[in-house]
Amino acid sequence: MKKEMIEKSYQLAKERYAALGVDTDKVIAEMDNINISLHCWQTDDVGGFEKAGSVLGGGGIQATGNFPGKSKTIEQMRADLDKVMSLLPGKQRLNLHAIYGEFGGETVDRDQIEVKHFQGWIDWAKKRGIGLDFNCTCFSHPYADDGFTLSAKNEKIRKFWVEHTKRCRAIAAEMGKQLGTPAVHNIWIPDGSKDTPVDRNGLRGQLKKSLDEIFAVKYPKKHLKDSVESKLFGIGSESMVVGSHDFYVGYAIRNNTMITLDNGHFHPTEMVGDKISSILQFVDEILLHLTRGVRWDSDHVLTFNDELLLITGEIVRCNALKRVNVGLDFFDASLNRIGAYVIGTRSAQMAFMYALLEPGKTLLKFEDEGKNFERLALLELLKSMPFGAVYDYYCMKSKVLVGQDYIDEIMKYEKEVLLKR
């Protein structure tokens, strides 16, 4: 896109927003403080680099599609991530799962992983001046096949996953230490039951016991931030999920951890955006897994929709940008995976920008004075304000391709790199 056109559109947009009392330059400056954590698993459909070349299995999470070009090696994954980051304004973080270590062709079971398997990633991140986040991988493993990991009643299996998760926290803390920015470690387990269980209580007791063992090891907050992720149901865990929202909200408040809000993990009419002002009354920080569930937790590529806008809008209205860690969680194998990343991350950025461009004081005044018509009218008018011109200008200022130009760049990468794999 032409520089002049972008600048001209921005000047007009700036005036339009200024008329509402909104300073677009300030908003653009604020955007650089929103560091979205890119989930590495969109590059390879949650495969990972364990020796057997693990394929996503168990836990009811699923990537569908067979678009060519998925990354099969660490080098390919890194190249893809570099490409993605080169097309995004601002700075991102990288969110790794434990199956993405550099195991050098060895079989390293999950209860054996160490920092050395992730040192390459730490060095990679250091070179780019970005932070890392981390996740234990309690699925795609024979010990997860029975449907229970940290909540297993089988002591051998439970201990195995406790050991795995402890190691993952240790690795994450080391990432945070070496990179000088705390790593978020997130725990999600697939545990649940297809049919009606009779001992929900016993299973939840087991999970609590496991978490207590895991969190008994303390790390400085400046190195590690812990989070726990709930879910409503999954394929194969339709009747009960051990780590439900109630369970983890209780656990997080009592044990001072963060809570992960994945917006695919609730009833379709339930809005995660509505939960933010409740949860932030009681926990210090939250982790987001931004996604787009289509009829179920389908992990479609994130788009700029009402659900996302309520989430970002509420974060800004709660003045909570500093208390929210932004992660993404979608994996679609039916289209160019690199393009999927850029679409999803840009949509998230644009949603934050849209939220920051809201004339908050005016809206609040209307609301407090009972001026409901004025509030609704302004909210509706905001939807046709030129926020796209502000985002375009932000991209240009950040020296990344603007507007549709990134589509061509991705098609070029597909032809030159992805299709040759």
Catalytic residues, by residue number, are 188, 229, 231, 262, 265, 289, 297, 299, 329
Residues in a beta bridge with 226: 185
Q: How far is the CB of 191 from Zn ion (least distance, A)?
A: 15
Q: How far is the CB of 327 from Zn ion (least distance, A)?
A: 8
* Inter-residue contact 373 to 47 (CB < 8 Å): no
Q: Which of 41, 121, 247, 352 binds ligand RNT (CB under 6 A)?
A: 41
Residues 279-318 interacting with Zn ion (rule: CB under 5 A): 289
| H helix count then E strand count, the chain | 14, 10
Q: How far is the CB of 188 from Zn ion (least distance, A)?
A: 6
Q: Which of 204, 289, 292, 300 binds ligand RNT (CB under 6 A)?
A: 289
Residues 150-169 interacting with Zn ion (rule: CB under 5 A): none
Residue number, 24 or 244, with CB nearest to ligand RNT: 244
Q: How far is the CB of 212 from ligand RNT (least distance, A)?
A: 22
Q: How far is the CB of 409 from ligand RNT (least distance, A)?
A: 27
Q: How far is the CB of 228 from ligand RNT (least distance, A)?
A: 11
Per-residue x/- mask for ligand RNT, residues 322 to 351, rule CB under 6 A? -------x----------------------
* Inter-residue contact 346 to 38 (CB < 8 Å): no
Q: Which of 37, 42, 92, 135 binds ligand RNT (CB under 6 A)?
A: 135
How far is 327 from 186, CA to CA, in rounded Å? 10
Per-residue x/- mask for ligand RNT, residues 42 to 61, rule CB under 6 A? ----x--------------x
Residues in a beta bridge with 187: 228
What DSSP assignment string belongs to 209-232?
HHHHHHHTS---TTTEEEEEE--S
Token pair in block for residue 159: 């201990």
Partner whose footprint covers residue 231, from Zn ion, ligand RNT, none (CB < 5 to 8 Å by kind): ligand RNT
* Inter-residue contact 350 to 390 (CB < 8 Å): no
Cβ-based neighbours of 194, under 8 Å, separated by 6 or more: 147, 236, 237, 238, 239
How far is 215 from 212, CA to CA, in rounded Å? 5
Residue number, 285 or 414, with CB nearest to Zn ion: 285
Residue number, 41 or 215, with CB nearest to Zn ion: 41
Exposure letters 63-101 (e unless 16+ CB within 10 A, then b): beeebebbbeebebbbbbbebbbebbbbbbbbbbbbbbb
Cβ-based neighbours of 15, under 8 Å, separated by 6 or more: none
Residues 230-269 interacting with Zn ion (rule: CB under 5 A): 262
Q: Which of 45, 226, 229, 358 binds ligand RNT (CB under 6 A)?
A: 229
Which residues of this chain interact with Zn ion, rule CB under 5 A? 262, 289, 329
Which residues of this chain interact with ligand RNT, rule CB under 6 A? 41, 46, 61, 135, 188, 229, 231, 262, 289, 297, 329
